[in-house]
């Protein structure tokens, strides 16, 4: 009674919508984390470097922003069955290789996967100066990532 092609097409559309919904939720969280980081950026450098409440929030929201980029990348790469991914950096770089985000943006953001690992696993050796530099100079990369991902949804 049912045309198998129509049913398959409907299932693919529903699956795509579910994936888009998941990605949109994560993009909203990414925007939230970046907004919080922008507020933290307004603190004087002395507070950024020495106040554990300010510094701890910077670490946490950077970690969450990076993790969100990784999660979005993972969803897209999985949905498109793109193989050859060995680690988080490869996952983000892969988006640039297949044209989902620009290769320039992928080159800027992919190394942040390494920072995520430091924030999570090597938290005793975090370079506060490096985090301060990211806070001052790289938040726009997260915004650009969001804009480029929205274009494929």
- 5-26: pLDDT as tens digits: 443 443 344 345 447 899 999 9
What does the pLDDT read at residue 12?
A: 47
Residue spans per domain, the chain? 4-150
Q: Please give the model's pTM, rounded to 2 decimal places.
A: 0.84
Class of the CATH domain delimited by 4-150 = mainly alpha
What is 16-69 written as a DSSP string?
HHHHHHHHHHHHHHHHHHHHHHHHHHTS-HHHHHH-HHHHHHHHHHHHHHHHHH
What percent of the chain has a predicted confidence (pLDDT) above 70? Answer: 88
Q: What is the CA radius of gyration of the chain?
A: 18
| pLDDT single digits (tens) 36-86 | 999 999 999 999 999 999 999 999 999 999 999 999 999 998 888 777 788
Q: Find tokens 């409440």 and name the residue.
A: 53
The model's confidence at residue 3, banded by pLDDT at 50, 70 and 90, is very low
């Amino acid at each position: 009674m049912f045309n198998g092609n129509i049913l398959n097409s409907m299932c693919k559309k529903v699956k795509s919508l579910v994936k888009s919904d998941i990605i949109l939720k994560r993009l909203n969280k990414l925007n939230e984390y970046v907004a919080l980081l922008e507020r933290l950026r307004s603190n004087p450098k002395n507070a950024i470097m020495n106040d554990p409440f300010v510094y701890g929030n910077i670490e946490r929201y950077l970690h969450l922003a990076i993790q969100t980029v990784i999660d979005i990348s993972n969803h897209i790469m999985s949905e498109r069955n793109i193989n050859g991914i060995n680690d988080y950096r490869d996952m983000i770089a892969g988006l640039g290789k297949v044209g989902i985000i620009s290769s320039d943006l992928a080159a800027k953001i992919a190394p942040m996967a390494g920072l995520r690992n430091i924030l999570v696993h090597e938290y005793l050796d975090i370079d506060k100066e490096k985090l301060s530099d990211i806070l001052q100079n790289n938040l726009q990369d997260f915004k650009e990532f969001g804009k480029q991902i929205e274009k494929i949804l």
